[in-house]
Amino acid sequence: MKIVSLLMVLLFISACTPSVNQVDPYKFYTLNYQGSAKQNAQPIYDFVKIDLPHVSTKHITENILYSKKSFEQNAYSQSKWKEPLAVMLQSWLVQSIENSHLFKGVIRAASRANVPLIIETDIVKFEHIIYQDEVHVALKVVLIQYNQRKIIKQKLFNYHIKVAQPSADEAVVSFNQSLIHFDKDLSLWLKEK
């Protein structure tokens, strides 16, 4: 009877002991549009379609990228983007362009609507550079006359934003800060004729 009691106690204790192989759950992040309130103005452009941003193969997944050395690239293992980076950035761009009031209307690229203008974006860089304590965000934006496939204007927007601590949480805060700067710069650039 004592042996059975001892086995029951040991079984109970082992069930309460945390597993050595326990893994933390994934954390999912998103790009938050935090644009400033812009005044309602008369549109200076016609309707525009926001194309899904073009990405290199390293940005196709939901991985949040970081580099500890200039020749080395990794992804945070327990931290991911909620959606692929291009999908999140397209939603962000739609909000930014709508909020600028510079276009008569904004349409996502998935729409079959025929519009005179299109905005294409290339995600050149979007990663946490740990050895420099910052995130690098480089986005090339091209405004195109759709029917003639004529480039109206294009610009490379480049941001280096400090990261408080080397973690995915802090990197995402800095990514979102870079997009606040991008929102202002994009609106100013679009206003220039």
The answer to the question of residue 10 being in a domain is: no
The answer to the question of residue 12 being in a domain is: no
The answer to the question of residue 39 being in a domain is: no
CA dist 107 and 114 (Å) reads: 10
Q: How many domains does the chain have?
A: 1
Give residue 82's pLDDT band: very low, low, confident or very high (50, 70, 90): very high
- Which residues partner with 174 through β-bridges? none
pLDDT digits (tens, 9 = 90+) for 100-153: 999 999 988 777 778 899 999 999 999 999 999 999 999 999 999 988 889 999
For strands 72-81 and 27-29, give the pairing. Answer: parallel
- DSSP assignment of 6-43 equals HHHHHHHHHHHSPPTT--PPPEEE-PPP-PPPPPP---
Please report, rounded to a whole number, the percentage of residues in the chain having pLDDT higher than 70. Answer: 83
The answer to the question of residue 127 being in a domain is: yes
The answer to the question of residue 96 being in a domain is: yes
pLDDT at 22 over 80: no
The answer to the question of residue 98 being in a domain is: yes
CA dist 25 and 147 (Å) reads: 48
Please give the helix or strand (H or E) that residue 151 lies within, else none.
strand 150-162
Mean pLDDT to the nearest integer, 57-65 = 77
Mean pLDDT to the nearest integer, 90-96 = 94
Give residue 17's pLDDT band: very low, low, confident or very high (50, 70, 90): very low
Structural domain of residue 164, as residue ranges?
44-191
Query: What is the reported pTM?
Result: 0.82
What average pLDDT does the chain have? 85
Pair 104, 47: CB distance under 8 Å: yes
CA atoms within 13 A on the CB side of 112: 0
pLDDT at 40 over 80: no
The answer to the question of residue 158 being in a domain is: yes
Mean pLDDT to the nearest integer, 42-62 = 85
What is the domain-level CATH number for residue 95?
3.40.50.10610
Pair 125, 154: CB distance under 8 Å: no
- DSSP assignment of 84-133 equals -HHHHHHHHHHHHHHHHT-BS-EEETTS----SEEEEEEEEEEEEEGGGT
pLDDT in the model for residue 15: 52
The answer to the question of residue 145 being in a domain is: yes
